[in-house]
A and B are shown apart, each in its own frame.
Chain A
Amino acid sequence: MTDDIKAGSPLLSIRNLTIEGRSSEGWIKLVDGVDLDLARGEILGLIGESGAGKSTLGLAAMGFTRDGCRIAGGSIDFDGIDLVGSGETVRRDLRGKRIAYVAQSAAASFNPAHKLIVQHCEAPVVKKVMPREKAMKDAVDLYRRMRLPQPEEIGFRYPHQVSGGQLQRAMTAMAMACRPDLIIFDEPTTALDVTTQIEVLATIRDIVRQFGTAAIYISHDLAVVAQMADRITVLKSGRAVETAPTRTMLRDPKEDYTKSLWSVRSLDHARAPERPTVGPVLSVRNIDAAYGALKVLEGVSFDVHAGRTVAVVGESGSGKSTAARVISGVVRPSLGEVLFEGRRLAADYRTRSREDLRHIQMVYQMPDTALNPKQRIRDIVGRPMEFYLGLRGRERDRRIAGLLEQIELDPAKYMNRLPSELSGGQKQRIGIARALAAEPKLIICDEVTSALDQIVAAGILKLLADIQKERNLALLFITHDLSTVKAVADEVIVMQHGRIAEAGNVGDVFARPASGYTTRLLQSVPEMDPDWLTRTLTSRNAEPFS
Chain B
Amino acid sequence: MANLFRLFAAAPFTARFGMIVILIVAVIGLFAPLIAPYGETAVVGAQYEPWSRQYLLGTDNLGRDMFTRLVYGTRNTVGLALLTTVIAFTIGSILGILAALLGRMTDRILSRIIDVIMAIPSLILALMLLTIVGTSIASMVFVIALIYVAPVFRLARASAQTVVVMDYVQAARLRGERLPWLILREVLPNIASTLVAEFGLRFCFVFLFIAALSFLGLGIQPPTADWGSMLRENATLISFGDVTPLLPAAAIALLTVSINFVIDWMLHRASGLKD
Whether B168 contacts A372 by the Cβ 8 Å rule is yes
By beta carbon, the residue of chain A nearest B177 is: A387
Whether A438 contacts B190 by the Cβ 8 Å rule is no
Chain A contacts of B185 at CB under 8 A? 372, 375
By beta carbon, the residue of chain B nearest A446 is: B167
Whether A364 contacts B171 by the Cβ 8 Å rule is yes
Q: Does B175 contact A (CB under 8 A)?
A: yes
CB-contact partner of B173 in A349, A369, A387, under 8 A: A349
By beta carbon, the residue of chain B nearest A360 is: B174
Interface of B is mostly: helix
Whether B167 contacts A370 by the Cβ 8 Å rule is yes
CB-contact partner of A370 in B168, B177, B186, B190, under 8 A: B168
Task: Bits for A386-430, please: 1 = Cβ < 8 Å to B, else 0.
Answer: 011000000000000000000000000000000000000000000
CA distance A67 to B186 in the complex (A): 32
CB-contact partner of A357 in B170, B175, B189, under 8 A: B175
Chain B contacts of A365 at CB under 8 A? 167
Chain B nearest CB from A367 CB (Å) reads 9
CB-contact partner of B171 in A373, A388, A434, under 8 A: A434
Q: Does A445 contact B (CB under 8 A)?
A: no
Whether A362 contacts B168 by the Cβ 8 Å rule is no
Whether B176 contacts A354 by the Cβ 8 Å rule is yes
Chain B contacts of A372 at CB under 8 A? 166, 168-169, 172, 185-186, 189-190
CA distance A170 to B259 in the complex (A): 49
Q: Does A384 contact B (CB under 8 A)?
A: yes
Number of interface residues of A (CB under 8 A): 24
Chain B nearest CB from A193 CB (Å) reads 21
Whether B190 contacts A362 by the Cβ 8 Å rule is no
* Contact status of A364 and B174, CB under 8 A, knowing A372-B190, A373-B190, A374-B189: no
Chain A contacts of B170 at CB under 8 A? 330, 362
Whether B174 contacts A330 by the Cβ 8 Å rule is yes
Task: Bits for A351-388, please: 1 = Cβ < 8 Å to B, else 0.
Answer: 01010010000101110011111110000000110011
CA distance A324 to B186 in the complex (A): 23
Chain A contacts of B189 at CB under 8 A? 372, 374-375
CA distance A434 to B169 in the complex (A): 13
CA distance A461 to B190 in the complex (A): 31
Q: Does A164 contact B (CB under 8 A)?
A: no
Q: Does A328 contact B (CB under 8 A)?
A: yes
Q: Does A329 contact B (CB under 8 A)?
A: yes
Chain B contacts of A371 at CB under 8 A? 168
* Contact status of A374 and B190, CB under 8 A, knowing A330-B170, A364-B167, A369-B166: yes
A→B interface (CB under 8 Å): 328-330, 349, 352, 354, 357, 362, 364-366, 369-375, 383-384, 387-388, 434, 438
Give me 16 A-to-B residue pairs in the complex whose CB atoms sit less than 8 angstroms apart, sorted by A's number: A328-B174, A330-B170, A362-B170, A362-B171, A362-B174, A366-B167, A369-B166, A372-B168, A372-B169, A372-B172, A372-B185, A372-B186, A374-B189, A375-B189, A383-B175, A388-B175
